[in-house]
A and B are shown apart, each in its own frame.
Chain A
Amino acid sequence: MNSLRLAAGAGPSGRALIELREVWKTYRMGKVEVHALRGVSLAVAEHEFLAVMGPSGSGKSTLMHLMGCLDLPTRGTILFDGADISSLKGSELAEIRGRQIGFVFQTFNLVHTLTALENVELPMIFQGAPRASRRARAVELLERVGLSDRLQHRPNELSGGEQQRVAIARALANDPKIVLCDEPTGNLDSAAGMRVLESLRDLNEEGRTVILVTHDAEAAGYARRRVQMRDGRMVEAAEEALR
């Protein structure tokens, strides 16, 4: 199981991998301003398994997009590995996303014209990995999520649970430090969801930082720390002991 672990160093270090300081995100729709985040502060250390919980519309996805360098805050500071992401160029943010972050979405977001294998290869193409090693790694990752007999299937030939496992394999393609998941079990039944959550726990155990956005308390139970959001604010940050 741990044949692919790497990247994330050995033990916990004190420094935060991602740190948000008084972060605001405001969407302007015509004359109306929507404050999706209203001054969120949060630090995520290396090797953490964090669940972000909260009702619909509370700003969880917005928060995840910011932590994943997919977007920039309207106000406040976000430090990724010590660097202020607002001062980075678009190509530098893309570099961070490509090398350090893996995303898993509620709707899987696989490229429907590509096979499972090609979907997993995709992030490596953008990093310029040579074809042979890229393919070998994609096969290995799909084996790991139990899909070695589905390599040439296209997304519409896979079940939801299988698609999400392809998405997890894809998230791991460039061996990222962090895996960000937005409601990864939202479209799955409980058995398939459990399988996904177990993979996430394995990823964390091999040293990766995992951030899980969910409104499902049971899913959040897999995390080692939970934070609660409401109306764009962090309302509760209860640390919990290891189970």
Chain B
Amino acid sequence: MIKDYLGLAVRSMSHRQKRSWLTIIGILIGITAVVALVSLGQSMQRAVNKQFQQFGYNLITIYPGGLRGSYRGPYSATFELDTDLIASVDGVEAVEAMLYKSAYIRGGEPPDEIEGFLPVVGLSPGITKVFSQFKLEQGRFFTETDHYTAILGQSVPKDLGIGVGEQVEIEGQAFEVVGLLAESGLGNNNSGIFIPLEALWEILGDRGKVSMVWAKVGQGYDAEVVAERLKAGLKEARGKEDFTVQTIEDLQKLIGQAIGILQAFLGGIAGISLLVGGIGVMNTMYTAVLERTREIGVMKAVGAKDSHIMWLFLIESGFMGLVGGAIGTALGLGMDILAVVITKRFIQTNVLEFGISAWLVIGALAFSFVIGALSGLLPARSAAKLKPVEALRYE
């Protein structure tokens, strides 16, 4: 039956091609915008998830600042933390720390000497055990016995004119450059200099201070459970909760939520254009009912019930929605692909990871059909309610 009605609907639409297409375009634009934005959000999410997977889910991050909100980013606050206590917690395999500072740097040979402030990051020597993706492009990492050694961020050689094997002066202390970090080895500190944590404490006289601590969870332990234990232990020892314990999963959820909110917000705005598209469908259908009043009368005379007429018009408007939705979905996904390609080319980091989600496609198609059908509801009802004789007399 639906098939027969669809046939009738297609006949009357193809008879009014221009208007049908214009109506379809109204829906199409809305669906394109919604699909593009949602798909973009998903691509962002995918890229984030991939990065987290690289981190591994067995990592717990501890940073200063109590309840969420008071925290001002990993690099602005420091605190003293009893790393031995953390290491003693059941399930913690290794504890590594980082201190982020800004320090006075001097590099290069006179007369090409350059000086100024650069971020200097103190790292505990075992840091590579928790960050497997901490990769060097050149040279080697610190050993346990290294002290005045430095690893340069990717862009430092260019900025300072020094390289591996040369010397760099940090707060008046000479350091030997032993390695060059691969791109974005740790955070996005391409312009920072990395030295052993002990050495940084020494030259700044800031012993014991850290910006962030990582605890690696041993095999077979649940990171969430270990994190809870860690939190309880720290709270008891410190007497207050002036720190945050976060698992990678927590962080992932948090970022996922942020992306979700952004997606909902943008999607909502795009949804307004869908509303406009829906009104377009309604307008077209009201016009169609008016134009086809006599035809409706004829159909009723040959036995069509109100419900038949209703379905006829609903299927027609739903079909227009569906066609708009199908094209719009394809265009929206195309725009996402374009965004992925462009960001890959110009930003060169994988902030987007393309993929087609089946529920997005199905959801968009179903939604566009429903929008079309809903917009056609009132016109279809007015068509169904026409009195046969009056419809037949209509000129």
Binding site for B on A (CB under 8 A): 65, 68, 70-71, 90-91, 94-95, 97-99, 103, 105, 109-114, 118, 122-123, 125-128, 131, 170, 173-174
Contact = CB atoms under 8 A, between A and B. Distances in A.
B308 interface: yes
Interface of B: 1, 4, 8, 11-12, 15, 294-295, 297-308, 387-389, 392
Contacts of A114: 8, 11
B301 A99 contact: no
Contacts of B305: 90-91, 94-95, 126
23 contacts: A65-B389, A68-B301, A70-B300, A70-B301, A71-B387, A91-B306, A91-B307, A94-B304, A94-B305, A95-B303, A98-B302, A105-B392, A109-B297, A109-B392, A111-B299, A113-B12, A113-B15, A114-B8, A122-B302, A125-B8, A126-B299, A127-B303, A170-B302
Contact of A97 (B1, B301, B387): B301
Given A111-B295, A113-B12, A126-B305, A97 B389 contact: no
Contacts of B300: 70, 94, 97
A123 B306 contact: no
A109 B389 CA distance: 13
A70 B303 contact: no
Contact of B308 (A68, A103, A113, A126): A126
Given A65-B388, A123-B302, 6 more contacts: A90-B306, A91-B307, A94-B303, A125-B8, A126-B299, A174-B303
A113 B302 contact: no
B394 to A, nearest CB: 11
Contacts of B392: 65, 70, 105, 109
Contacts, number: 70
Contact of A131 (B4, B12, B304, B387): B4
A195 B392 CA distance: 25
Contacts of B11: 113-114, 118
Contacts of B387: 71
Given A111-B298, A113-B15, A128-B1, A123 B388 contact: no
B4 to A, nearest CB: 5
B6 to A, nearest CB: 12
A113 B300 CA distance: 17
Given A125-B4, A126-B308, A131-B4, A71 B389 contact: yes
Contacts of A71: 387-389
B299 A103 contact: no
Contacts of B307: 91
Contacts of B1: 128
A99 B389 contact: no
Looking at A90, A91, A103, A173, the one whose CB has the most chain B CB atoms below 10 A away is A90
A90 B308 CA distance: 12
A128 B2 CA distance: 11
Minimum-distance CB pairs A-B, first 4: A98-B303, A123-B302, A94-B305, A71-B389
A103 B302 contact: yes
A103 B301 contact: yes
Nearest to B3: A131
A114 B299 CA distance: 12
Contacts of B299: 111, 122, 126
Nearest to B301: A103
